[in-house]
Amino acid sequence: MHILEISVYAITNPGKQSKHKEVMLKIVTPMVISSSVIFLLVLIWVMKRQKKGFSKDVEKVTEIMTHQLVSYHVIQRATNNFDEFNLIGVGNSGYVYKGTLSSGTAVAIKVLDLENEQV
């Protein structure tokens, strides 16, 4: 036979449990608050880094989009009249040549194969 035991101490000393809860609150509350503050600071830091990266990407795109127009004659000269030595790639849609403009800027020129149906 099993006898249910009840602690006389718990019944006669209910203030002990409320003290325990109070101590737990004094420990847990600062931990939760400090964890939340740290989380928010890290979140703000990550967002600022992403924003800086985004603005750098916008600058790069703007720089790329402000390219100069070049005549076919300049492209021929830059690639040495599309010399095979300057051929750097061949694909389904055409050929890619490397070249150097008279300003010294290195460029890649794609010559499309208009007879290919995949273009």
Binding residues for ATP: 110
Cβ atoms of 97 and 108 within 8 Å: the answer is yes
Bind-site residues? 110
Cα distance between residue 102 and residue 18, in whole Å: 85
Q: Compute CA 20 distance to the chain's CA centroid, rounded to the nearest angstrom.
A: 47
Task: Locate 15 and state its tokens.
Answer: 């203030």
> Any idea which residue has 């050929």 for tokens?
95
| Sign, Cα dihedral of 28, 29, 32, 35 | negative
| Residue of 92, 108, 99 whose CA lies nearest to 77 | 99
